[in-house]
Amino acid sequence: MALCKRRGFIFQASEIYGGLNGFWDYGPLGAQLKKNLKDAWWNDMVVHPPTGPDGSDVSMVGLDSCIIQNPRVWVASGHVGGFNDPMVDCKESKRRYRADHVQIMTTEGADRAYAFVEGDDAGRDKALKQLGKHARRTLVLADVTVAPLPSLSKDCLATAVGPDAKEPGTLTEPRAFNLMFKTYVGATANEDDVAYLRPETAQGIFVNFKNVLDTSRVKLPFGIAQTGKAFRNEVTPRNFTFRSREFEQMEIEFFCHPNATREWYAYWRDLRVAWWRSMGLLSENMQLREHDQDELAHYAKSGAGTSDIEYRFPFTHPGYGELEGIADRSNFDLTQHREHSKVKLEYFDPEHGERVVPHVIEPSAGADRGVLAILCEAFTPDPTRPSKVYMRFAPRVSPLKAAVYPLVNKDGMPEIAEHLYRELNRRFGFIEYDAKQSIGKRYARMDESGCPFCFTIDGETPGDQAVTVRHRDTQLQERIALDRVSDWLAAELVR
Ligand code: ATP
């Protein structure tokens, strides 16, 4: 977080006014990093769609729908009624927790239970110790039972001590808490004019299904892709940008014949994992996890596939946090919107004379969580000097592409350097030029900013017409001809 602030990747929103919990702004380098990620997604999914299982390109079109829609959209989608993460409040500590994040620890012989927040190892150890005191014996994890709070009876809840409490029985039963931000459309703030900021981009796609079908000559199977802001009034925003109240999604709704859902689900699951790898998430910190049957979302029918692409963030370690969900949503959304809008949302297959309500595979990714994973993956402290950090971005997402430096600011070096800078910046953009400070300091700044290459013009350059290129990841330096630099960089950046 300190590096993100120092180098201008991410700032607290409204920082000069003390910030606002759950909101983050992207600085010059962060804005470009995020844009590179979104552009790569749009390019690889929409502009040059991937090759499908049959060897031809997948059919994909783009969309850009509104953040505010007719509120009936959110009734049909289930968000107005059900977009609630049940919460529990602690009457003693005044803290609020997501019910499914609270774990309750019990053991035989103790008439008290202790709660802790999932993933909080210190909290879990504290609960173990306190439960041990109460049971008058030293306990290890194998001696206790741990269960999520919603699975417990009222009686058991009454004996539980909250994660930040001292007395038992202060946790409320789980209750609904609507996560959608409300606003009013028009000049008067009447309840009739209530509208919502969208909590996901997906519904904008479903409500435009017929428009796209009628205007773009797509044939089943096809996808509609959209990136954009989404808003959720998260109860406990935390972990930097991971759980924010305003964030950006990159979503595809892929419509296919009901018979073909399994094949397309497997296709998108594997393709999306490969895509994140191509964004530089190469370590085992990224993993794919298929959901257990009991955690399937409300739209997923029994047997349908749902999986998460997850990343082991420093703050979730040793656990993982979701980066993207791939879900078989069956025909849930189109059917809901057909019932609520009374508009037929179906596909007519002229070849087989068949009408179908397509099923949907949804790869739904978060741009902010993607940026955060890329930042974490890139963050490499120097093994000999831990205060020195290299940000090892893949060249494709890297906000800076190269730097051009005159070794010293005299003897004809700045002129050659400026010339090279202009040539490279015209072709690639995001080239850094700096003639001040020692060369060591300039390199260190580029290492922390994640710039993959520095070209240095030195005293030899006027004679041999060559420059030194320094590689960020190996710090190796090699000499290449001045007139080859541009093509050399072009080849390196597509690696
Ligand atoms: P979680 O369980 O972490 O709340 P979710 O399962 O509700 O996430 P989805 O509704 O599947 O998330 O949203 C799709 C993607 O949108 C997520 O994979 C994530 O990358 C992103 N996302 C969701 N909520 C947030 C948030 N509060 N802040 C940042 N990104 C988010």
Atom index in ligand 1 nearest the CA of residue 364 equals: 14
pTM for this predicted structure: 0.85
Q: Which residue has the higher pLDDT, 9 or 90?
A: 9
> Which part of the chain is CATH 3.30.930.10?
2-79+195-376
The pLDDT tens digits for 96-153 are 888 989 999 999 988 899 999 998 899 999 999 999 998 999 999 999 999 999 888 8
The pLDDT tens digits for 25-56 are 999 999 999 999 999 999 999 999 999 999 99
Which CATH number applies to 400-493?
3.40.50.800
CB 232 less than 6 A from any atom of ligand 1: yes
CB 369 less than 6 A from any atom of ligand 1: yes
Which CATH number applies to 2-79+195-376?
3.30.930.10
CB 276 less than 6 A from any atom of ligand 1: no
Ligand 1 mean position to 326 CA, how many Å? 12
CB 243 less than 6 A from any atom of ligand 1: yes
pLDDT at 430 over 70: yes
The pLDDT tens digits for 369-402 are 999 999 999 999 999 988 899 999 999 999 999 9
> Which part of the chain is CATH 3.40.50.800?
400-493
Q: Which two tokens stand for residue 110?
A: 């103790």
Report the pLDDT averaged over residues 174-202. Answer: 89
pLDDT band at 494 (very low <50, low <70, confident <90, very high): confident
Atom index in ligand 1 nearest the CA of residue 321 equals: 3
Ligand 1 mean position to 365 CA, how many Å? 8
Determine the pLDDT at residue 82.
Answer: 60
Top mutation candidate among 276, 322, 328, 364 for ligand 1, by most atoms within 8 Å of CB: 322
The pLDDT tens digits for 137-151 are 999 999 999 999 988
Q: Which residue has the higher pLDDT, 265 or 86?
A: 265
Ligand 1 atom 27, closest CA? 243
Mean pLDDT of the chain: 93
Atom index in ligand 1 nearest the CA of residue 308 equals: 18
Top mutation candidate among 84, 369, 371 for ligand 1, by most atoms within 8 Å of CB: 369
The pLDDT tens digits for 196-213 are 999 999 999 999 999 999
